[in-house]
Amino acid sequence: MVAERAGTSVATVSLVANGKDAGHVSAQNAERVRQAIAELGYVADHAARALASGSSNLVVFVTPDASNPYFGAVIRGLRAGLGDAYQLLVSVTGEGDVPTAAALGRLAALRPAGVVVDAPSEAFLEELRLDTALVLLDAPRLPTTTAEAASGAVAADRRAVSVDFDLLGGVRALLDHLHVLGHRQLGYLGGRTATDTFLLRRLLLEREAAVRGMRVHADDRAESIIDLEAAAAAFVDSWPRWRDAGVTALVCATDTHAYGVLQSARAMGMPVPGELAVVGFDDLASSVVSDPPLTSVRLPGEALGRAGAEQLLARIEGRTVAPAPVIGADLVIRASTIGR
């Protein structure tokens, strides 16, 4: 430990460097140590510190996909919420993949102070055996019984906290909007990841549509990863079935999926919303300049990240904290449903 150039012992330096000098180190020595640290640009070796103390100031964010701007917003929120005390590092899983046990083991080996996981699946959570603070984002419990499904209430028996969007509110606003416009047969283009939030979007859509005398046509072929081209292809594949079923409005798992639909629709000469109204989830920034501009359920990723960071900090520091708020999900209406 080079910084003992301050003329004190290693222990004293360690104390000061970790801000634990209150009432342990004289103000004079503390000051000299701080100077020495500043002069040498000293940073405690992460490995040694983690090994000795059994923890670190690392927070790992596990996200299934980084190419969706939505995740950029979440990261921004996390960074803002975490502040300077913790260093955020992002672990990106392959597109459409769920983190594996092996990948998790390697993350655990880093001994992070906390882990944040976005849009996991139930299977992933089963497998998760982390002894660090953990917060889930957009990880709604799926209803497991028909009673639950009917009531919308879900047993809250999960190990980790989850900060969630008000998907139900968003779906209701969406369906009310489409209902007023006269749509009764809807299609759903899903996200092909083992992610529960996509599944829930579909379930909520089906349940709430039924209440309104509408019908949702969804199946396992009508889905793709979060990628414009993949979504465009999935739409081309599914459209004949939807058309035959009389579908006049299509709900997409994300805006990126919706972009793919817009592209295919244009290629097929299909007017949007004339022949098919299109809606997405996310409300990406670019949805205001798409052709046509996209109606979308806005999912404020930054607010989600910020709330997630708060929950995580409380857990890391052993504080109790108010339960995470449900992040509002408003419908933003644009020309892809109402025309110009």
Q: Which residues bind a second copy (CB under 8 A)?
A: 41, 43-51, 56, 58, 60, 65-69, 71-73, 75-76, 79, 87-92, 94-95, 101, 103, 105-106, 108-111, 227-229, 256, 259, 262-263, 266, 284-286, 288-293
Instruction: Kindly tell me which of 42 and 67 has the beta carbon lying closer to DNA.
Output: 42
- CB-nearer residue toward DNA: 104 or 200: 104
Q: Is 317 in the site for DNA (CB under 7 A)?
A: no
Residue 131 CA, distance from chain mean position: 21
Task: From the list DNA, a second copy, none, pick the one residue 228 interacts with, judged by a Cβ distance below 5 to 8 Å according to partner type.
Answer: a second copy
Using the rule CB under 7 A, which residue among 37, 49, 133, 189 binds DNA?
Answer: 49
Q: Which is nearer to DNA, 7 or 328 (CB)?
A: 7
Do the bridges between strand 277-282 and strand 295-298 make them parallel or antiparallel, or are there none, so unpaired?
parallel
Residue with token string 């009310």: 176
CA 328 to CA 315: how far, in whole Å?
23
Residue with smaller CB distance to DNA, 107 or 171 = 107
Residue among 67 and 185 whose Cβ is closer to a second copy: 67
As a whole number of Å, the end-to-end CA separation of the chain is 68
CA-CA-CA-CA dihedral for 205, 211, 213, 214, to nearest 10: 0
Number of residues in contact with DNA under rule CB under 7 A: 27
| Options 18, 100, 145, 151; binder of DNA; rule CB under 7 A | 18
37 binds DNA (CB under 7 A): no
Structure tokens at 192: 């092909």
Indicate whether 106 belongs to the interface with DNA (CB under 7 A): no
In the complex, least distance from residue 263 CB atom to a second copy, rounded to whole angstroms: 5
Judged by CB under 7 A, which stretch of 37-45, 58-66, 204-212, 306-314 contacts DNA? 37-45
- Residue 257 contacts residue 270 (beta carbons within 8 Å): no
CA 173 – CA 183 distance, rounded (Å): 14
- Return the closest-CA partner of residue 300 out of 317, 278, 283, 288: 283
Identify whether the C-beta of residue 161 lies closer than 8 Å to the C-beta of residue 177: no
Task: Kindly state whether residue 48 participates in binding DNA, applying the rule CB under 7 A.
Answer: yes
- Does residue 35 touch DNA according to CB under 7 A? no
Please, what is the minimum distance in Å from the beta carbon of residue 79 to a second copy?
A: 7
Q: Which is nearer to DNA, 58 or 249 (CB)?
A: 58
CB-wise, 58 or 205, nearer to a second copy?
A: 58
Cα distance between residue 80 and residue 50, in whole Å: 24
What CA–CA distance (Å, rounded) separates 169 from 297?
A: 10
Please state, in angstroms and rounded to a whole number, the distance separating the CA atoms of residues 255 and 265.
Answer: 15
CB 62 within 8 A of CB 193: no
Helix (H, G, I), strand (E, B) or coil at 137: strand
How many residues in the chain? 340
Minimum CB–partner distance for residue 83 and a second copy (Å): 12
For binding to DNA (CB under 7 A), which residues are involved?
Answer: 1, 8-15, 17-18, 20, 23-26, 28-29, 42, 44-45, 48-49, 51-54
